[in-house]
Structure 1
Amino acid sequence: MATAVVATAYGGPEVLSLAEVEVPAPGPGEVTIAVRAAGVNPFDHKRYSGMFGTDPAALPLRLGLEVAGVVTAVGADAVGPAGPISVGDEVIAPVSGGYASAVNAPAARVVPKPADVDWKQAAGVLSVGGTAVHLLTATGVGPGDTVLIHGAAGSVGAIAAQLAVARGARVIGTAAAGRHERLRGYGVEPVEYGAGLADRVKALAPNGIDAAIDTVGTDEAVDVSLELVADRDRIATIAAFARAGADGFKALGGGPGADAGTEIRANAWRELLESLSAGKLDLVIAKTFPLTDVAAAHEFVLDGHAGGKVILLP
C-alpha cells in the first residue's frame, strides 16, 4: 500500500485529500519507485479543476506527472533509455499518480538520477525542462540568434533562457523588476513587461528579434512577438493556443491544435541532467511541501507568483 493524493471531486485545492492505495507488483516493462520527491505542475490543477471535463466516473483522480525516487521492484524486461533498471537504482520518471509515497512507472521512460543532483531538482526538471527544449527546438534557436522569451523568470522560461544562452543565442527576457538580477546572472538581458514593452525591446535590439518564445499566454506577449519577429514559424507559445491558431504561429504542448513534441520532450533528459549535474543549469525550487499539505502547495502555485518549481515530499 502507498499514501497517495486523490481528488474526490472537481473544484479547487479543497477537493484534494490523502488515501491509502494499492501499488501492484510491477508488470513486464514496469518498475515500482519509492518516491522521494514529486514535482507539481499546472496540468495537475487543470485535471481536477474540471477543465478537461467533469466525468464522475473518473473520480477519484490520481495526480502527479513526475517523480524522483528509489526503485524497489522491477518487472520482467525493465529496461530504460540508459539500460536495464535494478532494485536500488536512484531514478527520475514521468508517471501517472506521482503524488504518492510509491508509484509504478513504465521502465522505458525511467532515467538514472545523477548522484550530484538532489531529489528536489530531479523531481522538478523533466516536465519544465522538456517543454523548454521543445520551445527552443521548434523555434530553431541557435548561435547568433537574438531571442525574446516572455516569462523568462518562470520555471519553463528560466530553463529555456539558460539553454538558449548555452547554445550561443542572445536572450532578452521579460520579467518583473525583482527578478532581473537573477536573469542577468544567467546571461539574459532582462526587460520589464507592461505598456511600452515593444519599444523597450527594440531599444535593446535595434537590429531585430529572430525568434520569440511565449510561456505566459498574454495578449501583450503575443502582440509584441508578432510585431518584432518577421517569421511566424519562429514564434512559439505554450499558453496562447487560440491566438496561435488565429495568427499562424506555433502552439506547443497539450492545448488544442498544439504540437505535443513527444519525442523531443522524451529525449530532453540527457541535456537537462548533464547540465544540472555540471552546475550549468539553475533550477529554482520555490518551495517544498509535505504530501499532507498538498492543498496548500496548490494554493501557492495558483497564486501565480511561485518564482520556481514547487515540490511535494512524501
Structure 2
Amino acid sequence: MRAIQFSEYGPPSVVHVAELAAPHAGPGEIRVTVRASGISPGEIRIRSGEMRDVVPLTFPYRTGFDAAGVVDEVGDGVTGVNIGDEVFGMTDSAARGANADFAVLAAWAPKPAAWSWEEAGGAAGSAETATRVLDRLAVGAGHTVLVQGAAGGVGTVAVQLAVARGATVIGTASERNHDFLRSLGAVPTTYGTGLVERIRVLAPDGVDAVFDCAGGALPDLVAIAGDTARVVTIADVTAAAHGVHMSHGVPADDTGNGTAMGASADPLALHGLAIAVTLADEGRLRVPVAAAFPLTEAVAAHELSESRHARGKIVLVS
C-alpha cells in the first residue's frame, strides 16, 4: 500500500510516498480502507524538528493520526462495528500512519451522514484535541473563552464545541476570516499588537479560559486570563517558560504516564468523538476543510499547513 512518511527532520520536501506492507487490526482495533485522512499542524512541527525535545521520533516516521474510511478488518474483542461500516477515528498515538491507503484505528465512531469523507477524515484529531483542552480548562455554560487561532483545523472545532457547552467564545483570526468565525458562533477579533486591550473591550468582565491554537503570544494570553492555569496551548513550545501547560495526547492506559510522548502529555479525550457525532447529527458541528490533496501531493499539503493561512482542516484523499 501507499503511505506517507519521512526519514529526517526538515522542510515539507522530506515527506514522501512509500510502498509498505498493509497493517492488520490487532486486538481491540479495526482497519479501514482510508477515504480521507488529516494533516495536523502539530505533526508539521514534529516534521520540522521543532518538537524534537517534546515528542521523540524513531525514523522512518509515518504520518497521520486521524482518518475516515470503510471498515475491512475487525480485531479480536471488538464489538459494535462490522466490515463495511463507515467510520472516522484515530490511530494509536505512537503508531500513527493514517496518511495511507489502509489505517488501523484504535478509537472510532460512526461517520455522521451529514459529513463528507473529507470532513470526516480530518475530524477525529480536532474533536479529541478540542475536547481534551476544553475539559482541562473546565469550560462550561456561562464562561467566556478566548480561542487564539480560531480559524484553523482545531480552532474551528474548539469554537463550536465551546459554544455547544454554553460558553461565549471570542476567536482571533485575520480579518478576512471574521465573518467565517461569526458563522461558527464566535465573536471575532484580530490577533497581534493590542490584543489585550481588544479583549478587555469585548469581555469587560474578563475571560475565564484561553485555548491557544496558534502560539507566539503567551505573555498577552496570560495577561488576558490573569492566571497561567487558565491558559492551555497546543502550539507554543515555549509554554514552560511562561508557566503555561502545553497539551498533547497520550492514551489514558499508558503505563509510562505519558513519558514516551513527553512530560506535558494528557490522556486522550476519546469521548470527544461521540460528542462530535451527536453534535454533527444535530447540525451543530461542521468540520471546515481548507483543502483536500491526493496522497501523491502530501508535500503540497504540508506546505499549505506550514503557511498558516489555511482556514479549517487540510486532508489527504485516497
- Per the normalisation by structure 1, the TM-score is 0.87
Question: Whole-Å Cα distance in 2 between the matches of residues 217 and 42 of structure 1?
Answer: 11
Indicate how the Cα distance of structure 1 residues 150 and 85 shifts in structure 2: closer, same or farther if over 3 A, else same.
Answer: same
- Once the two structures are superposed, residues 136-177 of structure 1 have per-residue CA deviations (whole angstroms, 9 ceiling, x without a partner) of 111121122122221122222222122222222222221111
Pick 1 or 2: higher relative contact order, CA cutoff 8 A, min separation 6. 2
1:312 matched residue in structure 2: 316
Checking the alignment, whether the CA contact within 8 Å between 1:5 and 1:16 is kept in structure 2 is yes
Aligned with 2:148 (options 144, 150, 158):
150
**How many percent identity over aligned positions?**
38
Instruction: Find the partner of 1:196 among 194, 198, 202.
Output: 194
Give 1:215's match in structure 2, choosing from 200, 213, 220.
213
State the partner residue of 2:76: 76
Residue 289 of structure 1: how far off its partner (Å): 0.5
Q: Which amino acid aligns with 1:90?
A: E
The residue type equivalent to 1:116 in the other structure is A
Preserved contact between residue 140 and residue 162 of structure 2 (Cα < 8 Å): yes
2-structure distance, mates of 1:306, 1:25? 33
Give runs of aligned pairs for residues 217-256 of structure 1, distance below 5 A. 217-219=215-217, 222-243=218-239, 245-253=240-248
Are the counterparts in 1 of residues 120 and 287 from structure 2 also a CA contact under 8 Å? no
Alignment-derived partner of residue 105 in structure 2: 105
Q: Does the CA contact (< 8 Å) of 2:4 and 2:100 recur in 1?
A: yes
**Secondary structure class of the residue paired with 1:260:** strand
- 3-state SS, counterpart of residue 182 of structure 1: helix
Uncovered stretches (5+) of structure 2, i.e. residues with no partner: 250-260
Change (3 A) 1:26 1:132: closer
**Residue 296 of structure 2 corresponds to which residue in structure 1?**
292
Secondary structure, in 3 states, of the residue corresponding to 1:69?
A: strand
1:277 to 243, 261, 281: 281
Contact map agreement 1:294 1:312 (CA 8 A) in 2: yes
CA contact (8 A) 1:117 1:277 kept: no
- Please give the residue correspondences for 1:9-20 in structure 2 after superposition, counting only pairs within 5 Å: 9-20=8-19
- Alignment check: 8 A CA contact 1:155 1:284 kept: yes
Q: Mean Cα displacement is larger for which, 59-68 or 298-307?
A: 59-68
Residue 101 to residue 182, structure 1, CA distance change in 2 (3 Å): same
Superposition deviation, residue 259 in structure 1:
4.0
- Tell me whether 6-15 or 286-295 shows the greater mean CA deviation: 6-15
| 1:53 Cα deviation from its structure 2 partner | 5.4
* Cα distance change, pair 148–278 in 1 and its aligned pair in 2 (3 A): same
1:58 and 1:189 mapped to 2: Cα distance? 42
Q: Is this contact kept in 1: 2:29–2:105, CA < 8 A?
A: yes
Give the Å deviation of 1:122.
Answer: 1.0
- 1:146 partner amino acid: T
Instruction: Rate the CA distance shift 1:257–1:26 in 2: closer, same or farther, 3 A.
Output: closer
Could you tell me which residue of structure 1 aligns to residue 267 of structure 2? 261
Q: One-letter code of the match for 1:270? A: A
TM-score using structure 2 length? 0.86
Q: 45-54 vs 167-176, which deviates more?
A: 45-54
Q: What RMSD, in angstroms, separates the aligned Cα atoms of the two structures?
A: 2.3
**Alpha-carbon distance in 1 for matches of 2:21, 2:275:** 35
May I ask how many residue pairs the two structures share in their alignment? 300
| Deviation of 1:311 (Å) | 0.8
Checking the alignment, whether the CA contact within 8 Å between 1:148 and 1:211 is kept in structure 2 is: yes
Whole-angstrom CA distance in 2 between matches of 1:41 and 1:171 = 23
What is the rounded CA distance, in whole Å, between the counterparts of 2:306 and 2:110 in structure 1? Answer: 31
**Gap change, CA 1:204 and 1:119, over 3 Å in 2:** same
Q: CA deviation at 1:52?
A: 5.5
Tell me if the contact between 2:33 and 2:102 (Cα under 8 Å) persists in the aligned partners. Answer: yes
CA separation in 1, counterparts of 2:144 and 2:174?
20
**Match of 1:266, as an amino acid?**
L
Identify which of 287, 297, 302 aligns with 2:306: 302
- Structure 1 window deviating more from structure 2 (229-238 vs 207-216): it is 229-238
Amino acid at match of 2:21: E
Paired position in structure 1 for 2:183: 185
Q: Secondary structure at the match of 2:238?
A: helix
Secondary structure in 1 aligned to 2:284?
coil
Give the deviation of 1:116 after TM superposition. Answer: 2.9
Asked whether the equivalents of residues 108 and 273 of structure 2 are also in contact (C-alpha less than 8 Å), the reply is no
The code of the aligned residue for 1:246 comes to A
Distance in 2 of aligned mates of 1:46 and 1:194: 21
Which sits farther off after the overlay, 7-16 or 189-198?
7-16
Q: Is the 8 A contact 2:37 2:64 kept in 1?
A: yes
Give 1:246 shift.
3.3
SS of 2:122 mapped into structure 1? helix
Structure with bigger gyration radius:
1
